[in-house]
Structure 1
Amino acid sequence: MPIISGYDLTKRIRERFSLTELPILLLTARSQPKDIENGFLAGANDYVKKPVDALEFKSRVQALAGVKKAMQEKLQIEAAWLQAQIQPHFLFNALNTIMALSEIDLDRMQKVLEAFSQLLRGKFKFTDLNELAPLEDELELVRAYLLIEKERFADRLHIKWEVDDDLQVIIPSLTIQPLVENAIHHGIMNRPEGGQLTICISQLENHIEIRVEDDGVGMEKSKVEGLLKKTASHKSGIGLLNTDLRLKHQFGQGLKIESVKDKGTKVSFMVPNDIGK
């Protein structure tokens, strides 16, 4: 290829996509063992030397396509599991809150019950999570979740919205609510006094930025770096990792996480302006 070699292009692709997310088959006249080794070191899945037999080439392509399909199916299963899961303590606390309000404030109880019903509908709506949904639909789910959590944590949870008007954009399903949930339970509520959650959605020149901030306990740099690695095992890590992968598949870039120990955390992602128009 002109300007850039196949090895260099492969390295660039590997900066964004893993071996299973986007398999690469190198087709080249270079046949020395060192050339083959360099191809695999660059990140290729397979290496075919010219001249190539058509049947062999087709078989190798089909095998790698199967690898990618298996990865996509795994991601979808994991996303559906994350979509459906509701932590037992959240379920019990929500129901306890509703029962307590039934004895002191029926209007507030009705609002929490409606929010709880809306949240359950969103969580158990098994759709293709690679499909795009209107931003407002995602925000409605977030508002329902926050209404319940605000009733539960009262003055320990302060919520600030900074959302530009008339934003018409679509995003992958369930990409904001997991960030909000993570900020509350792993950031803010780890402080005895609680703190503030800020949801900021801004129109920039070429993108819309969606950002979730908290002034909770924050994280050290090493922990931040581990959150989006394929080996993430903590439940919050799995949720963030899955969201990051789905965003990368859709937009080519995923989550950006900034955190300072004892200061708080910012998690953001960008959506191109032309999505949904």
Structure 2
Amino acid sequence: MHEGEIDVESEIHKGSTFTIKIPNIINENRIEEVHNPFVKNLTLKKENKISMKGNKKETIVIIDDNFSNIFGVTNILKGEGYSIKGFMNAEDGIKEIFENKNVFVAIIDLMMPELSGYEVTKRIRERFMMTEIPIIIMTARIQTDSMTKSFEAGANDFLNNPFESEELKARINTLVNLKKISQKSINNEIALLHAQVNPRFLYNTMNSIVACCYEDSEKAADIIINLSDYLRHTFDYDANINAIPLSKEIRLIKEYLYIEKIRYDDLLEYEIDFRNEENIVIPPFSIQTLVENAVRHGIIKKPKGGKVTITGGFKEDFYQIIVADNGVGIKQKKLKEILAEETQEIKGLGINSVRKRMKAMYGTDINIISEYLKGTKIVIKVRRQ
């Protein structure tokens, strides 16, 4: 684990001498930054942290109050290409997991002085599912009660320390692949959702075009152009692309709302106001999905119609996007059903897909505020890069 050596010298009837050689671990509290000869690209910092940059984007976070354990795990994983972030302070480790979108697996020590491994795991599970941030609990003593509590808290795996290097590598690689499969599943889910263009939307749009042809040919041409662009952007989705420029999403929203405005006329008003969005990227169809829900399930169900407002701008460390409507709103019971991870209702699928992808990409969840018969506001926060 620490790449040390044990030498033995023994003579019958005289005794034995055991010599243990352990690589020197530099005191991270004295030295702000030093490169260790045993692990390439390893940096020890005075804040009780360890960092190793790998050639893969996947990051492994280690939370353990014993620095030797962090160093040992880092040393074992050095050949796997992962970036490693080790923390002796649990709160620092949790913060890294919440803010670093490239964290794929967390290794957490069970027994720590301030926050136990159970508590750290529960904190992470409040935001991330088991497939979003897989967790390995590490302990020196495996007991049935400890294992049960760990799995109840949300751990994916349990590892007894000391352990074999190959065992750790195998478990890490398995959980990294689990997250990759989860991400691909989310992307395929949203691809399927948007491949199924609402037939009624197309039918009504074509009727609007036909009606305009007799009265306003230029308007009919505008609808056809917007519909063509909307369909092109919708069908052009690539499940392997996790993020697109916000500006591209805004164009899709404008095309969609222009068509719906023609269709519903005075029943639908909308306002779009984005600022400083040039360098912002988001998961594809994330905002458009929320806008479509606002129109279909909020505004149009209100006898007198209403207004959808979409805004975006920087607020502290985030780029904040708000989709608000003054439609019929959502009853609290229904809102809980929509937000439930286990729901399989297709009409809740869009919102849950947005939530999953935002958590996977930025570690942030969406915030939904709704009052029945008054309207709904959805807030998305994109972390400043």
The TM-score range, normalised by the shorter chain, is over 0.9
* Aligned residue in 2 for 1:178: 289
Three-state SS of the structure 2 residue aligned to 1:131 is coil
* Aligned residue in 1 for 2:362: 251
Using the TM superposition, name which of 190-199 and 149-158 deviates more. 190-199
Answer whether contact 2:328 2:375 (CA < 8 A) is retained: yes
* Aligned residue in 2 for 1:8: 119
The CA deviation at 1:167 is 5.1
Matched, 1:203 2:347: no
Per the alignment, do residues 272 and 72 of structure 1 end up closer, same or farther by CA in structure 2, a change over 3 Å counting?
A: closer
TM-score (norm 1): 0.92
Mapped partners of 1:180, 1:256: distance in 2? 15
Matched, 1:25 2:120: no
Q: What are the within-5 Å matches in structure 2 for residues 149-168 of structure 1?
A: 149-164=260-275, 168=279
* Aligned residue in 2 for 1:215: 326
Matched, 1:76 2:187: yes
Deviation per CA, 1:115-165: give whole Å up to 9, x if none.
101111111113246532222211111000001000000000011233336
Three-state SS of the structure 2 residue aligned to 1:176 is helix
Matched, 1:148 2:268: no
Mapped partners of 2:195, 2:348: distance in 1? 17
Three-state SS of the structure 2 residue aligned to 1:219 is coil
Three-state SS of the structure 1 residue aligned to 2:253 is helix
Corresponding residue to 2:350 among 235, 239, 244: 239
Letter in 2 for 1:206: D
* Aligned residue in 1 for 2:148: 37
Mapped partners of 1:97, 1:129: distance in 2? 35
* Aligned residue in 2 for 1:89: 200
Matched, 1:105 2:216: yes
Letter in 1 for 2:335: V
Matched, 1:188 2:299: yes
The CA deviation at 1:176 is 0.9
Per the alignment, do residues 62 and 132 of structure 1 end up closer, same or farther by CA in structure 2, a change over 3 Å counting?
A: closer
Matched, 1:227 2:338: yes
Aligned length: 274
The CA deviation at 1:55 is 3.7
Mapped partners of 1:229, 1:130: distance in 2? 26
The CA deviation at 1:262 is 0.7
Per the alignment, do residues 273 and 51 of structure 1 end up closer, same or farther by CA in structure 2, a change over 3 Å counting?
A: closer
Q: Which has the larger radius of gyration?
A: 2
Mapped partners of 2:365, 2:200: distance in 1? 29
Answer whether contact 1:213 1:265 (CA < 8 A) is retained: yes
Mapped partners of 2:319, 2:182: distance in 1? 29
Answer whether contact 2:274 2:311 (CA < 8 A) is retained: yes
- Return 5+ residue gaps in structure 2 as ranges: 1-63, 66-113
TM-score (norm 2): 0.67
Mapped partners of 1:69, 1:166: distance in 2? 29
* Aligned residue in 1 for 2:374: 263
Mapped partners of 1:5, 1:40: distance in 2? 14
* Aligned residue in 2 for 1:115: 226
Which structure dedicates a bigger proportion of its chain to strand? 2
Three-state SS of the structure 2 residue aligned to 1:187 is helix
Aligned residues: percent identity?
36
Mapped partners of 2:282, 2:168: distance in 1? 37
The CA deviation at 1:109 is 0.6
Three-state SS of the structure 1 residue aligned to 2:120 is helix
* Aligned residue in 2 for 1:58: 169
Letter in 1 for 2:199: P
Three-state SS of the structure 1 residue aligned to 2:323 is strand
Three-state SS of the structure 2 residue aligned to 1:69 is helix
- Return 5+ residue gaps in structure 1 as ranges: none
Deviation per CA, 1:175-195: give whole Å up to 9, x if none.
111111000100111112111
Letter in 1 for 2:350: G
Per the alignment, do residues 205 and 58 of structure 1 end up closer, same or farther by CA in structure 2, a change over 3 Å counting?
A: closer
